[in-house]
């Protein structure tokens, strides 16, 4: 049937619209082809396996930080001590292997440790008059997670723990950790809160300090009065894990920040992960399991 005059006039317009639609479709396909594919070298962290509860975050090398849903500030327990150590080291840098100045434990420090022990906070229990180097004090802070040493370092660095906490919060703001607020140097107070995303960023920053990176790789330290104490990090030394910090209280649940060397796209990178708010009979064990699965999901087990 012959086309009407009006239909013939509309043919060029229809043809032009079809061409434009085809161009738009090609542009969309091209754009999608350039988007990261989950779990590939384009964006390995996009393949992250998130825990069923709590929250988590992971960053591969210098890439973007990926986080699970529900990133809201929660208690982080002794993971707080990552910031404590960073603030101390930025004010009194140590070279790897350097002992640093000697600290003397006072009667007030011992009384503070007794108060912390009475409320079931993690302490090592140094004696009055004990002398230990700054390096050993930081090891006591980070390995057995000594709350009494966190207080000792805070007072030595800033004059009081309250003044030290101000330094911690100022550093958090400088790093853009907008969901992080500290109220103590040890993390025992549930008011010290953060998100997994913020803690992954903080750990990656702290690990850029060679002294901090060395400290969190150690498995034990010998202290005066106390003797040998070991790390709480059950993953350390396994499958390339090189740190970082654990924390566990009733309000916080099991919390861990981990770092592991992995080969991704033919090169070795550092994968940093944070897992917060894990529960169960062994909340730290659950957090370690989730952290290990998270790292393996983005980089491959033992890669």
Task: List the one residue out of 104, 60, 62 whose CA is nearest residue 263.
Answer: 60
CATH number, domain containing residue 230: 3.40.710.10
In a domain, 20, yes or no: no
Decide if 190 is inside a domain.
Answer: yes
pLDDT at 10 over 50: no
User: pLDDT-derived band of residue 44, with 50, 70 and 90 as boundaries?
Assistant: low
Residue 2 has what pLDDT?
52
Residue 25 in tokens: 């479709």
Task: For residue 265, give every residue at least 6 positions away whose Cβ sits within 8 Å of its Cβ, in sequence order, or none.
Answer: 41, 44
Render pLDDT for 68-103 as a digit per residue (tens, 0 to 9): 988 999 999 999 999 999 999 999 999 999 999 999
Asked whether residue 34 is assigned to any structural domain, the reply reads no
Of residues 217 and 29, more confidence is placed in 217
Kind plus residue range of the DSSP H or E element containing 230? strand 227-230
Domain that holds residue 85: 46-299
CA distance 292 to 303: 13
User: What is the value of pTM for the model shown?
Assistant: 0.85
| pLDDT > 90 fraction of the chain, expressed in percent and rounded | 77
Q: Give the number of domains in the chain.
A: 1
**In the prediction, which pLDDT does 265 show?**
79
Q: Is the confidence at residue 151, as pLDDT, over 80?
A: yes
Q: Any alpha helices (H) in the chain, and if so which ranges?
A: 5-34, 81-91, 107-118, 134-142, 147-158, 161-174, 196-206, 210-215, 283-299
150 with 157: CB under 8 angstroms? Answer: no
Domain membership flag for residue 168: yes
Read off the pLDDT of residues 173-182 as tens digits, 9 standing for 90 and up: 999 999 999 9
Q: If you average pLDDT over every residue of the chain, what do you get? A: 87
Q: What is the mean pLDDT of residues 217-228?
A: 97
Give the pLDDT score at 48: 72
In a domain, 24, yes or no: no
In a domain, residue 94? The reply is yes
Domain assignment present for 29: no
Residue 13 has pLDDT above 90, yes or no: no
């Amino acid at each position: 049937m012959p086309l009407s005059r009006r239909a013939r006039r509309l043919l060029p317009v229809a043809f032009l619209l079809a061409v434009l639609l085809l161009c738009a479709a090609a542009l969309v396909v091209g754009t999608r082809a350039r988007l990261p594919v989950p779990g590939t070298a384009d964006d390995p962290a996009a393949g992250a396996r998130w825990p069923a509860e709590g929250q988590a975050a992971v960053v591969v090398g210098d890439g973007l930080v990926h986080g699970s849903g529900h990133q809201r500030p929660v208690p982080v327990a002794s993971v707080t001590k990552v910031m404590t150590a960073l603030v101390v080291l930025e004010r009194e840098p140590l070279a790897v292997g350097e002992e640093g100045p000697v600290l003397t434990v006072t009667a007030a420090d011992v009384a503070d440790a007794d108060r912390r022990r009475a409320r079931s906070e993690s302490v090592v229990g140094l004696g009055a008059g004990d002398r230990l180097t700054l390096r050993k004090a930081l090891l006591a802070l980070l390995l057995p997670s000594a709350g009494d040493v966190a207080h000792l370092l805070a007072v030595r660095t800033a004059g009081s723990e309250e003044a030290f906490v101000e330094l911690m919060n100022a550093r958090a703001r400088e790093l853009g950790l907008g969901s992080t607020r500290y109220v103590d140097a040890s993390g025992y107070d549930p008011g010290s809160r953060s998100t997994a995303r913020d803690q992954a960023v903080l750990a990656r920053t702290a690990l850029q300090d060679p002294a901090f990176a060395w400290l969190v790789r150690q498995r034990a330290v010998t202290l005066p009065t106390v003797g040998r104490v070991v790390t709480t990090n059950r993953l350390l030394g396994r499958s390339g894990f090189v740190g970082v910090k654990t924390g566990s209280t009733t309000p916080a649940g099991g919390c861990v920040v981990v770092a592991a060397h992995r080969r991704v796209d033919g090169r070795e990178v550092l994968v940093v992960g944070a897992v917060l708010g894990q529960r169960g009979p062994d909340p730290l064990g659950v957090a370690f399991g989730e952290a290990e699965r998270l790292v393996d999901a983005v980089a491959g087990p033992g890669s």
